[in-house]
Amino acid sequence: MTDRKLKIVFFGTPEFAVASLDRLVKSGHEVAAVVTMPDKIAGRGHKLIQSDVKKYAVENGLQVLQPEKLKSLEFVDTLRAINADLFVVIAFRMLPEVVWGMPPMGTFNLHASLLPKYRGAAPINWAVINGDTETGVTTFFLKHEIDTGDIIEQRKIEILPSDNVGDVHDKLMSLGAEMVAHTVDEIAKGNVIPQPQPEGEYAPAPKIFKDTCRIDWHKPSVGIHNLVRGLSPYPAAWTTMEESRTPGEFTDVKIYETRIAEDAPQRFGEPGDVSLTKDRLFVNTEDGILEILSLQPAGKKRMEASAFLRGYNPLRFK
């Protein structure tokens, strides 16, 4: 098959998908339409909030489709009328077969892990939470079971000890955009030979809920430190704080940055108990001590520990 320019429909919603959409628009292939989530009402003013993908599409004059139901006859008929060669899906809802089975060259997804590891909604978070030292991106053709289709291409990056999930997200967003553009080019050239995913390497990456983010100070320091990294800057790990001014009462605090404190004072009390210096905040864990470097008390802005300690005198975290 000769190299040719493809007509593409792009499916995506968050910022992570925008970089890939931009690369496709600039690649010379035709992005005939963009499918994204319906606008949401949010905030005190009940304003309509557009997805990052929609904002980009509107700014660049692309056709935007925002179906409430992906199986609706109106939406399916609209897609068919576009007569696209290929669908590209990044960070979108699960597609029904009537949609993903439509284009003659198939539908592929960009997934932010090295499949089959971390199938699910939050692969970047779980890679950092679990203390992995590498991750990557995968393009694969969709089939019935989520994140199980045949692999087209994979690329890896190192997860540095200093990286939080925001850092890894941005690295994968850039790497993924490059690989999406390359995958489309290779499909256009007829060079793609998809490979089944290996068996036995599956690891789950379920959606992150509030309970997932709560710190258990009875766990080892490394695990807590990685949990904080894997949830920072969003949605952020959290704990509750008892303060000297209100003993017996606990308020929520988000924790954004920690350090395993090898230079800390000797262990003191129980897990969650704190030790303070003028501008440093240490917390007992199951097997050691963590230093909290930045945090956000409920109703306040994020701040460094030194600034926090000018206004608060925590007794313990729970």
C-alpha pair distances (Å), 215 with each of 109, 118, 198, 237? 33, 22, 34, 6
Distance CA 50, CA 66 (A): 10
Q: Are strands 281-284 and 274-276 parallel, antiparallel or unpaired?
A: antiparallel
Instruction: Give the residue carrying structure tokens 């089939």.
Output: 143
- Provide the β-strand partners of residue 11: 35, 89
- Do residues 37 and 12 touch, judged by C-beta distance below 8 A? no
pLDDT in tens, the chain (318 residues): 446 899 999 999 999 999 999 999 999 899 999 999 999 887 777 788 999 999 999 999 999 999 999 999 999 999 999 999 999 999 999 999 999 999 999 999 999 999 999 999 999 999 999 999 999 999 999 998 888 999 999 999 999 999 999 999 999 999 999 999 999 999 999 999 999 998 877 789 999 999 999 999 999 999 999 999 999 999 999 999 999 888 899 999 999 999 998 776 676 789 999 999 889 999 999 999 999 999 999 999 999 999 999 999 999 999
Q: How far is CA 54 from CA 67, 152, 224, in A?
A: 13, 27, 36
Decide: 262 and 242 in contact? Cβ < 8 Å.
no
The rounded distance, in Å, linking the Cα atoms of 70 and 73 is 9
Whole-structure pTM value: 0.93
